[in-house]
């Protein structure tokens, strides 16, 4: 986190340089101190598996998995286990044999910050713990309105902003998962065609853990119409992770990824962005900077970054895209 000193196991809250760790509701770790929490835990992941889940431009390696994500998977397993104990106590108290509902983990952060890699890594690591072998991952991209609807509403240039999502359907999905329904389905999004895939659904079937990854999963509830009860997806999340970095670094990573995609996915004839494949490097940089300035940057500053303080845990990345510090909310 800001102000982290190398080798210091704990640092003060970056919200106030005068706070002690005892006075803050958070505990800050540098990477070295955090890594010690995962010592003696075998790494159930191969380099080939890591290659399959790593996003374009994300340089996470096995050392970072061992030092950052393995301790996080251990912490999350403790939370899931404690949730199980609480469930059994509730069942005894209520005298009802209701089934335990999935433990929902929200993963939030900006475009290009690495939240998708984090989500896929956590799915893989958490499923290797014997306590919860059934781990599902759903991204909120599937709950974006189809492009035709965004065009109708004049929202194509605000894709990714909260108003571009079918928030009612997303809330329906999460509430049905937490209600314990046997099967709950979600729409499927294609990054290649940049749109919802018509008629295609993904289905989750009472997993032990559901990872919900997206830009705005930590947003609070919007005021309800006519003074009725207001609910948000974040109300049904049991633990949340925010992947954080300096805005200038995220912007640079976005531009770098755009340039790589220009040489790869953008060349696919079915790609929505195929028109950018023909740009020279200067033109591609200018277009990426323009998209960031008009869409992704404002969305980060206005909608995503303000939710960081609501997270249970923040992974702070440095300029090289590696996690340098961890902030954990006290319990």
Q: Which residues are annotated as a binding site for ATP?
A: 109-116
d(C-alpha 236, C-alpha 240), whole Å = 10
d(C-alpha 109, C-alpha 127), whole Å = 23
Asked if 215 contacts 156 with a C-beta cutoff of 8 angstroms, the reply is: no
d(C-alpha 281, C-alpha 44), whole Å = 40
Name the residue with tokens 């251990």.
74
Binding-site residue set: 109-116
Structure tokens at 159: 């894709």
């Amino acid at each position: 986190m800001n102000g982290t000193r190398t080798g210091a196991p704990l640092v003060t809250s970056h919200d106030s340089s005068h706070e002690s760790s005892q006075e803050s509701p958070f505990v800050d770790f540098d990477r070295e101190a955090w890594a010690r929490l995962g010592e003696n835990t075998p790494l159930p992941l191969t380099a080939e598996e890591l290659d399959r889940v790593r996003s374009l431009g994300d340089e996470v390696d096995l050392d970072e998995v061992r030092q950052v994500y393995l301790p996080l998977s251990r912490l999350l397993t403790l939370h899931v286990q404690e949730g199980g104990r609480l469930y059994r106590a509730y069942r005894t108290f209520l005298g009802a044999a209701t089934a335990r509902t999935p433990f929902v983990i929200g993963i939030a952060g900006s475009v290009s910050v690495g939240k998708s890699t984090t989500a896929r890594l956590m799915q893989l690591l958490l499923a290797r713990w014997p306590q919860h072998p059934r781990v599902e991952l759903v991204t909120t991209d599937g709950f974006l309105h189809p492009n035709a609807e965004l065009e109708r509403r004049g929202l194509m240039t605000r894709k990714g902003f909260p108003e571009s999502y079918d928030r009612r359907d997303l809330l329906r999905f999460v509430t049905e998962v937490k209600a314990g329904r046997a099967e709950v389905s979600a729409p499927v999004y294609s990054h290649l065609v940049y749109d919802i895939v018509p008629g295609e659904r993904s289905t989750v079937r009472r997993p032990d853990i559901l990872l919900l990854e997206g830009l705005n999963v930590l947003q609070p509830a919007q005021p309800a119409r006519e003074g009725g009860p207001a609910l948000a997806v974040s109300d049904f999340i049991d633990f949340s992770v925010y992947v954080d970095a300096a805005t200038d670094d995220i912007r640079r990573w976005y531009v770098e990824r755009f340039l790589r995609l220009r040489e790869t996915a953008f060349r696919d004839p079915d790609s929505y962005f195929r028109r950018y494949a023909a740009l020279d490097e200067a033109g591609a940089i200018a277009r990426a900077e323009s998209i960031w300035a008009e869409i992704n940057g404002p969305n980060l500053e206005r909608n995503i970054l303000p939710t960081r303080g609501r997270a249970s845990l923040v992974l702070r990345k440095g300029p090289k895209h590696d996690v340098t510090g961890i902030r954990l909310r006290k319990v």
